Structure formats: C-alpha cells, structure tokens
Amino acid sequence: MNNKTYGHFDDAHREYVITDPQTPWPWINYLGNEDFFSLISNTAGGYSFFKDAKFRRITRYRYNGVPMDNGGRYFYIVEERGESKEERIVWNPGWKPCKTPLDSYECRHGMSYTRITGQKNSVEASVLFFVPLKKWCEVQKVTLKNLSNETKQLKLFSFAEWCLWNAATDMENFQRNFSTGEVEIDGSVIYHKTEYKERRNHYAYYSVNTPIQGFDTDRESFVGLYNEFDNPDAVMEGRPRNSVAHGWSPIASHYIEVELKPGEQKDFIFLLGYVEQPQEEKYAPKTPGLITSLGDLDRTFINKVRAQQTIAEFDTVEKVDKAFAELAAFWDDLLDRYTAKTGNEALDRMVNIWNQYQCMVTFNFSRSASFFESGVGRGMGFRDSNQDLVGFVHQIPSRARERIIDIASTQFPDGGCYHQYQPLTKRGNNDIGGGFNDDPCWLIFGTVAYIKETGDFSILDEMVPFDNQPGSEVTLFDHLRISFNHVVENLGPHKLPLIGRADWNDCLNLNCFSWDPNESFQTTENNSVGSKAESLMIAGLFVVTGKQYVELCQQIGKGVEAQRAQKEIDSMIEAVKQHGWDGEWYLRAYDFYGNKIGSNECEEGKIFIESQGWCGMAGIGQEEGMVDRALDSCKKYLDSEHGMVLNNPAFTTYHVEMGEISSYPAGYKENAGIFCHNNPWVIIADTVAARGNDAWELYQKISPVFIKDQTLHKVEPYVNCQMVAGKDAARPGEGKNSWLTGTAAWMWLTASQYILGIKPAYDGLLIDPCVPQTAKEYTVKRKFRGGEYLITIRNPKGVQKGVSSIIFDGQPLQGNVVPAAEGSHTVEVTMG
C-alpha cells in the first residue's frame, strides 16, 4: 500500500485541504448553488456556465488535454527583481499553469467555495473563489501580501478564455467560430458579446475593482501562437498587448501593477459574471431615456447596466466578506438538519459534511458536468434526478418539489418517460428518447420521499402535463398511478417486467443487438418487438416502490386503488419466487430469447448485484431464506477489498445479446467494476435482513472518507465516485468518474435512514437502526417538519437490529414512530 497523502480533512471548517498540487488526478470542487455554476480544480482549472453546461457555457475548457486540466481562471504574478529576464519570477498561486516551484501551496475546498494560496519569494497570493447566493457571478478575491522586508513591484495578470456559448459547437464549428467572437472593453470591465447582435440576449463579463494598466482580449496576442498557458507571451514579457479581439478566440485578461511595502497586503476583487436582459433592453438608448421603438437603440454597445449593478454589489472587501458569510450561514443551516455524533470521526464527517454536500451537487448537476462528464452529453436524467432528490430533499424541500414537477412533465401518457431532459428548457431530450422501463418507478420513489420529509400531500394535486404539452395536464397522483401501471402493463412471459431499452443498468442492452461500431449502445434503435427480455432488477424495484404506492394510497383514502395495487405486487413477488430465483441468488434477467442472465448456468456473469440488492430490499422470499442466501452469495462472489463488483465472473468476450455491458474490459464500469451506486442497495438489503455487521463493513468500503491509499484511488477522497475498478481489473481499487453519481444519494439514505436508522415517515420519524454489534451509543440531531429531535440510541446488549423501548420527551412511546411535532424533543432509544 502507498501511504502517501495529498491532503487532509479540516472538519471544523468543513474543508478538504490539499497540500500537494500534484494530486493523482485533478481534485475539484463546485461553486454555485442555483443558476451560475463553476467547476474548479485544485490548481484553479475548470469552467463556468449558467444553468446549462451545454447551451450556456461561459468559459472554455478542453477536456482530456495534455497536460490534463489545462485552462481555467488563472492569475499570473510577475515579480521584477531587476532589469533582465532572468531576474523576473513568474508564478501562479495554484502552481499551474506555470508550475514554478512554490515555497508553499494549499488548496482548501469547502462548501461551495475554494481558496487557493501560494507563496513565492516572500509574496503570498491567496484567491478565494465563490458564487454569492442567488447571484449570477463568480467572485475571485485575490489577496497579495508582502512577507518580506523590502518593497515589492509586482504585476498581476488575470486570465479567462470565453466559450462561444454552446459548448458543443464551440469545439467543432471552427469555420464559423473563428469569425464570430466579439468583445467590448470599458474601463476595468471586459465584456464578451459574441452573437449578441443576433439572437442572444445575454453576455458575460470579467471585471476588477481597481483601475487597470492594460488588458488583453485576443488569445493569440496574449499567449502567442507558439506558446502555451505556462508561458504566455504577454506575461513572460511583463507587458500586456491591449488587444481587442475580432473573431478567433476572445479572452479576458486584466493587467495590474502592484507595489507592496514590507508587510503590506492588497485585495482585488474580480468578478466573472453573466447577464441576461429583455430584448427591448439589449442596447442602451441613443438618447438617454428615449426608447419608443427598437430603432431608438444604439446597437454599437451592449446595455451594461445590469453588469454594473452586480459589479457595484461586490466592489469592496467588506461587501464580498459579507456575501461569503451569507454563504457560510446557508451551509450551516443546511447541514444542521441532520447531524450525527457516533464517536467515529470518519463516519461523522461523511454523514455530517461531505455526503450531504455531494448530494446537493448531484441534485444540481445530475450527470451533466464534472471532470468526467463533459457537460455536452447528458442533461438531467429521469431516474438519476429522482434518486438525487432523495438525498437532497431534507436540505431544500421546495427545490425538490419543483424538480419532481419538472421531471413528471417529461413523462408520456402511457407512463413511459424521456430518459433525459435539458435543464435550460426542461424539455425531454429527443436524441435519447425513452423506453427505459425502470424509469417510471423512480417517480414514485422521489415523490414519496418528498411527502414523507415534508408532509406536503398537496403536491399530489398539482396539474402536470405529459411531454410538456399544454392541455395534457393530469394530477401528479395520476402520473404516479400511470407509472405504477406502466410496469404492470409491460410484463413478459414469466410475468416479470419487460426491460425495454435497459433498466437501471444502462449497459444491459438486451434488445439492441449491435454489431456496428459506429452506433451508440445508448441511443441506437432497439428491437423489442417479440422480445422476451425481462428484468429482475425492475421486479424488485417495482415491489419496493409499489409498496410505497400502496401506503400512499392508504394515506390519502384511496383504499380500492391500494388493494388493486397490492394484488399486482403480490403477483410480482410470486413471479420472482417462481421464475426469478436461481437457487442461491436472484436471477438478473431473461434475454430476448428467454434465456437466463445471471444464473449459475451461465458461463460468465453468473451473479449480478442489482437484483440481489432490489429483491433483497423488497424482502422477496425473506421467510423462505432467499434474502439471506442472496446476501451470502454477494459476499462470496461479488465482494472484494474495495467493495462489491457488479457481476461475476466478468465478461471476457462480447455478447451481442447483452450489449454494452460486455463491451467493457473485465473489471471496469458495468462489467464487474465496483459500481458504487449499487453497493448501498446491498447494504440496505443487509439492514432489511438485520445484518448490521455486514452493512457496516460494506459501508466503510464504499465511503470515500475511509480510503487508505489515495494514490491508488486517484480521484477525490472526499466524495464518492461512480466506479472503482473491480477485482478483475488491472488496478483494483482505482476510482473513476467522481462526483456525479447516484452513489451520493444512496449512501446518504443508507447511513442516515438504514444504519443510523432515522427514517421520515408519514406521521413522524421512524426509528429503526441496524448497526454493528460493537456500536454502543450514538446521537442524531434531526430537524423535521418544524421540530428538532435529539435522538440518543443505546445498544447495551450489542444487538444488530431491533428497538426494545423508546422514551419520547420523558414518556414511553408505543411503537417506533416518533410523532412529528414542532419544538424541541428528546428521544431515548434502547436497542435489544
């Protein structure tokens, strides 16, 4: 094992502190909580966008560059120590891109902010990056400090490269792009207004709150055609070009001369902002105040008023510090809704800080923009977003409510759904279409979680369209009913759910049959006519979410519908027992022809994790011992040092009847990778079966905060990644695709509701912990529907599950649901 570390946690500040810029992969953070977003790496790489990483990309970023993570918001500091070139030191506080060795370096990734500090030759440069709440800009507060005894003459160059808005065409349509770029320079503000004269009503700007001594807006003039970001011409010569971009590649760079006396410190506030304005206010009037028609507008210059207003809101250190304090207060409030004290530092940090933080990020971005998702490929996923909101709903329920309506609006009248939608338009994405037969179930899953958290049944009466078509509205409850029915109406020969394009596993493409390397497994036409392909994963998911649906119907007085639904669930359970049990575990599927997948009879892929997790969570055949046997089989065949792999043995050859899953090399992604997302399903199934020791063991393997070998793990040690290379891979334990994964929400459910056992229910909080025998005592503080509960759980007998008594506000409680009530409450729970 490699013991080298690149940083450490600072829990008091809720930060991860990176102390070595050469992390094994860029370790990033996210800025912004609602509309304006940025990705920022530990060396200040990354980019910004407004709402939609594809259609409103503000700054340019080149994925998979050489070196990795090139381009971002860079500050170049030039110290002139004499006349000659040799006496000039050029460096960046975040080490890159110049990579001049620093005397010290530190990057603190916190809750929606990043602070990067570097020191060189007794100058300290610290940059705080954040997006103020509700604002459409990224603040960059640069603090330069002279730590020496002599006066320092410094030159500060900022740098950002504009993206021509559509991140996809920006990287391909050069015959057009090289002619369209336009900027304006006004004092210390550089405006990017490409395509503004035609259909756009938005522009971007980069400003600084001090007079500048020069600027550049043309990349070639600033960098030089034969130079790179690590030695831009202008910087290396310590002399800006004052270039004005016309086409080619517009950038924004300010040039500021700074003198610092011994011990002196100066702050500069840079703002990278975005403005959208009504058509009639696009330009300033020719004569002040006089606009009766668009002809009265002066089309030479954009209307800068909105930008100037925002700039004025952040033009002093005091104003910036105040906005930063507001951001901190926002996070204090969010993270105060569930806090655990377990005596295990790492677990507390996961539950109280990083897991909840990642849930916010996945809620915001779905699978669109990370250092593995390029922001142009995928919008918001139907199933992904429903899962993400379950990890987020306790934080800002109103946003989860809005999201549910948005998602449901992309459903079709028959219950099927668009698989993805664009965040900007909220419209279903036609490139991928629908036909993923697990999708409808997730709407029930998301909505029920929302109601249990908030008690807000009124959401069920909201009128929600199909496919965003006005006039097609039915209630959200109807959408749920139709979702439930979609499974029932699409059963195969074994009365198990037909899989359609795919279920949760996008790569189990049973109706695809692709031999053409030029087509995508994900979007190519499927041939499901006459298909017998059925999914045991959907069967389990249907039983879990179907039970939720039944309970919901009972809550709202729809007893007949509840009974009808229960019958369907009972038949599904029967079908699984009869046709979905392989002897030691649940089958995974039947293929197009009706052959078994995930059976001992198969040569490869004998056992799959998804059906064990879902049928286990559903408790199918628990009395007959099926759940326990399935979980034992998971331990035997799927488990490894770093977690459970998706399937075993891995596929070594391409199976056309299974599609993409068998396209991956053994041990990676859906082919026997440790697909972290589905490990919590097994952990939760463990808790259903009262196996607290197993649950805890696997939880630790999947939690980033328990990672031991940071070099091997490669990606950020403070958030989950989608996949860790499995036991059949070349480097088991190597992580990939960090940040945007359903793992976040599932790990949150697992820890908060199933292990620590505090579960929102219709009438209150259901207390049902499942812990390792060694757990003695812990507390959880939970805010819930206006009440604040201090819950202490004791385990004197060292059991794994079972509550023997609950004292609620000093009185013994019948059952284990603590009633929802405003005010402060104490809850004393004894297990045993």
Q: Which residue number, 678 or 753, has a Cβ lying nearer to ligand GLC?
A: 678
Where does residue 370 fall: left (phi above 0), alpha (psi -120 to 50 degrees), or beta otherwise? Answer: beta
* Whether residue 506 lies in the annotated active site: yes
Q: Does 219 bind ligand GLC (CB under 6 A)?
A: no
Among residues 182, 218, 506, 686, which is the contact residue for ligand GLC, using CB under 6 A?
506
Contacts of 102 by beta carbon, 8 Å cutoff, 6+ apart? 21, 91, 95, 118, 119, 120
Q: Does 669 bind ligand GLC (CB under 6 A)?
A: yes
Q: Does 383 bind ligand GLC (CB under 6 A)?
A: yes
Contact 656, 591 (CB under 8 A): no
Contact 514, 659 (CB under 8 A): yes
Q: What are phi and psi of 415, to 5 degrees?
A: 100, -20
Q: How far is the CB of 391 from ligand GLC (least distance, A)?
A: 14
Contacts of 301 by beta carbon, 8 Å cutoff, 6+ apart? 184, 283, 284
- Give bridge partners of residue 208 from the DSSP assignment: 270
Q: Which residue number, 660 or 694, has a Cβ lying nearer to ligand GLC?
A: 660
Q: Which residue number, 306 or 367, has a Cβ lying nearer to ligand GLC?
A: 367
Contacts of 451 by beta carbon, 8 Å cutoff, 6+ apart? 457, 459, 460, 552, 762
Q: Does 381 bind ligand GLC (CB under 6 A)?
A: yes
User: Could you tell me what percentage of the chain is helix, strand and coil, using 3-state DSSP and rounding each to the nearest 5?
Assistant: 30, 30, 40
Q: What are phi and psi of 629, to 5 degrees?
A: -65, -40
Q: Which residue number, 16 or 436, has a Cβ lying nearer to ligand GLC?
A: 436
Taking residues 52 to 91 in sequence order and writing x for each that binds ligand GLC by CB under 6 A, - otherwise, the string is ----------------------------------------
Q: How far is the CB of 743 from ligand GLC (least distance, A)?
A: 9
H-helix segments, 708-802: 710-713, 743-748
Among residues 363, 484, 504, 778, which is the contact residue for ligand GLC, using CB under 6 A?
504
Q: Does 443 bind ligand GLC (CB under 6 A)?
A: no
Q: How far is the CB of 545 from ligand GLC (least distance, A)?
A: 15
648 CB burial (10 A radius; 0-12, 13-18, 19+): buried
Q: How far is the CB of 30 from ligand GLC (least distance, A)?
A: 17
Among residues 505, 647, 753, 816, which is the contact residue for ligand GLC, using CB under 6 A?
505
Among residues 15, 52, 170, 670, which is the contact residue for ligand GLC, using CB under 6 A?
670
Q: Which helix (H) or strand (E) holds 608?
A: strand 607-608
Q: What is the SS3 assignment for 96-163?
A: CCCCCCCCEEEEEEECCEEEEEEEECCEEEEEEEECCCCCCEEEEEEEEEECCCCCEEEEEEEEEEEE
Q: How far is the CB of 120 from ligand GLC (least distance, A)?
A: 41
Q: Which residue number, 110 or 735, has a Cβ lying nearer to ligand GLC?
A: 735
Q: How far is the CB of 703 from ligand GLC (least distance, A)?
A: 18
Decide: helix, strand or coil at residue 370: coil
Point out which span in 154-162, 379-387, 511-519, 613-621 binds ligand GLC (CB under 6 A): 379-387
Taking residues 785 to 824 in sequence order and writing x for each that binds ligand GLC by CB under 6 A, - otherwise, the string is ----------------------------------------
Q: How far is the CB of 377 from ligand GLC (least distance, A)?
A: 7
Token pair 């522009």 is found at 203
Q: Could you tell me how far CA 1 lies from the centroid of its own chain?
A: 30
Among residues 125, 507, 724, 803, which is the contact residue for ligand GLC, using CB under 6 A?
507
Encoded tokens for 629: 């046997």
Q: Which residue number, 535 or 741, has a Cβ lying nearer to ligand GLC?
A: 741
Which DSSP symbol is given to 169? Answer: G
- Distance between CA atoms of residues 277 and 384, nearest Å: 32
Token pair 């493409």 is found at 509
Say how many residues touch ligand GLC, by CB under 6 A.
15
Q: How far is the CB of 668 from ligand GLC (least distance, A)?
A: 9
- Among candidates 790, 810, 791, 794, which has minimal Cα distance to 802? 794
Q: Does 501 bind ligand GLC (CB under 6 A)?
A: no
Contact 408, 443 (CB under 8 A): yes
Alpha-carbon torsion (496, 502, 507, 509), positive or negative:
positive
Q: Does 206 bind ligand GLC (CB under 6 A)?
A: no
Q: Does 35 bind ligand GLC (CB under 6 A)?
A: no
Q: Which helix (H) or strand (E) holds 480?
A: helix 476-488
Q: Which residue number, 126 or 505, has a Cβ lying nearer to ligand GLC?
A: 505
- Give bridge partners of residue 17 from the DSSP assignment: 8, 108
Between residue 735 and residue 764, which ones bind ligand GLC under the rule CB under 6 A? Answer: 741
Q: Which residue number, 342 or 522, has a Cβ lying nearer to ligand GLC?
A: 522
Among residues 117, 429, 511, 522, which is the contact residue for ligand GLC, using CB under 6 A?
522
Q: What are phi and psi of 15, to 5 degrees?
A: -130, 155
Taking residues 688 to 727 in sequence order and writing x for each that binds ligand GLC by CB under 6 A, - otherwise, the string is ----------------------------------x-----
Point out which span in 13-21, 43-51, 455-463, 503-511 binds ligand GLC (CB under 6 A): 503-511
Residue number of the CB atom closest to ligand GLC: 506
Decide: helix, strand or coil at residue 286: coil
Among residues 367, 501, 701, 759, which is the contact residue for ligand GLC, using CB under 6 A?
367
Q: Which residue number, 268 or 504, has a Cβ lying nearer to ligand GLC?
A: 504
Q: How far is the CB of 753 from ligand GLC (least distance, A)?
A: 21
- Distance between CA atoms of residues 1 and 21, nearest Å: 21
Contacts of 815 by beta carbon, 8 Å cutoff, 6+ apart? none
Q: Does 391 bind ligand GLC (CB under 6 A)?
A: no
Point out which span in 94-102, 488-496, 501-509, 559-567 binds ligand GLC (CB under 6 A): 501-509
Q: Does 384 bind ligand GLC (CB under 6 A)?
A: yes
Q: How far is the CB of 524 from ligand GLC (least distance, A)?
A: 12
Q: Which residue number, 167 or 791, has a Cβ lying nearer to ligand GLC?
A: 167
Q: Does 681 bind ligand GLC (CB under 6 A)?
A: no
- Distance between CA atoms of residues 415 and 460, nearest Å: 16
- Buried-exposed string 393-406: b where 16+ CB fall within 10 A, e elsewhere: bbbbbebbbebbbb
Q: Which residue number, 194 or 737, has a Cβ lying nearer to ligand GLC?
A: 737
Q: How far is the CB of 347 from ligand GLC (least distance, A)?
A: 25
Point out which span in 87-95, 149-157, 380-388, 535-543 binds ligand GLC (CB under 6 A): 380-388
- Distance between CA atoms of residues 475 and 461, nearest Å: 5
Please pick, among 35, 218, 388, 506, the residue that the annotation labels catalytic. 506
User: Which residues are tagged catalytic?
Assistant: 506
Q: Which residues bind ligand GLC (CB under 6 A)?
A: 367, 378, 381, 383-384, 504-507, 522, 660, 669-670, 722, 741
